[in-house]
Amino acid sequence: MVFMPESRPYHHGDLRAALLAAAERTLREKGTAALSLRELAREVGVSHAAPGRHFKDKQTLLNALALAGYERLAQSLSAADDPALPLEPRLTSLGRAYLGFAVDNAALLELMYARKHEPDASEQMAAAVEETVGSLVQVLADAQRRGEIIDGDVEELNLVTGAALHGMSAFISAGWLTPEAALAGVEGLVHHLLHGLKPR
């Protein structure tokens, strides 16, 4: 199901949330270039100076949007994770959660990856990245301890896993794969990641 921030009139005490919801709608419909604090103020019905109480400039707004995206992605991954499962079904469940988020939030995900490398990205952003990307590292490290996968640099193994999943989300964005085909293919993708392509 596609997440759409609630569209409701701003009411006192909820300006930051109203601005973020309006910003995400604009991001989804028109892209980053269309985001403007002045336009967001007009959309939610406040003075053009009012957003400045929460976001000093557009960069701060973009960071806040990316941070909110990482928080939602972390929630999706956490809800999909079952540490009691063997690695293959566990990674398949996490992969489906990641791709589901990517399908429903393509523009937001692109912003999240762009903002995490910005010099002004906050420690909060680094912690949010760690909670999402780091959670997959932990899954792989647990699997190494249980002897389910090879020893080695767990960060490198995570890079391979993440590249495969994000590559599928890029194929969806480019129209090379339908969301349905990508989600249906996660089980096979994880199987090939874990077992390789050589004949056995």
Residue spans of the domains in the chain: they are: 84-195
Q: How far apart (Å, rounded) are the C-alpha atoms in residues 143 and 125?
A: 27
Q: How far apart (Å, rounded) are the C-alpha atoms in residues 121 and 104?
A: 24
| HSE, side-chain direction, 13 A CA sphere, residue 179 | 14
Residue 195, token pair as written in the block: 């077992």
pLDDT of residue 126: 80
Residue 109, token pair as written in the block: 């995900």
pLDDT of residue 6: 45
pLDDT of residue 103: 92
Buried b (16+ CB within 10 A) or exposed e, 10-39: beeeebeebbbbbbbbbbbeeeeeebbbeb
pLDDT of residue 8: 46
Q: How far apart (Å, rounded) are the C-alpha atoms in residues 7 and 107?
A: 18
Burial of 53 (0-12, 13-18, 19+ CB in 10 A): exposed
What CATH number does the domain located at 84-195 have? 1.10.357.10
pLDDT of residue 119: 63
Q: Which residues of the chain have pLDDT under 50?
A: 1-11
pLDDT of residue 25: 92
CB neighbours of residue 117 within 10 Å: 9
Q: How far apart (Å, rounded) are the C-alpha atoms in residues 116 and 133?
A: 12
Structural contact between residues 82 and 94, judged by C-beta atoms closer than 8 angstroms: no
Q: How far apart (Å, rounded) are the C-alpha atoms in residues 52 and 68?
A: 19
Closest CA to 19 of 7, 1, 33: 7
- Give this prediction's pTM: 0.83
Residue 79, token pair as written in the block: 């809800």
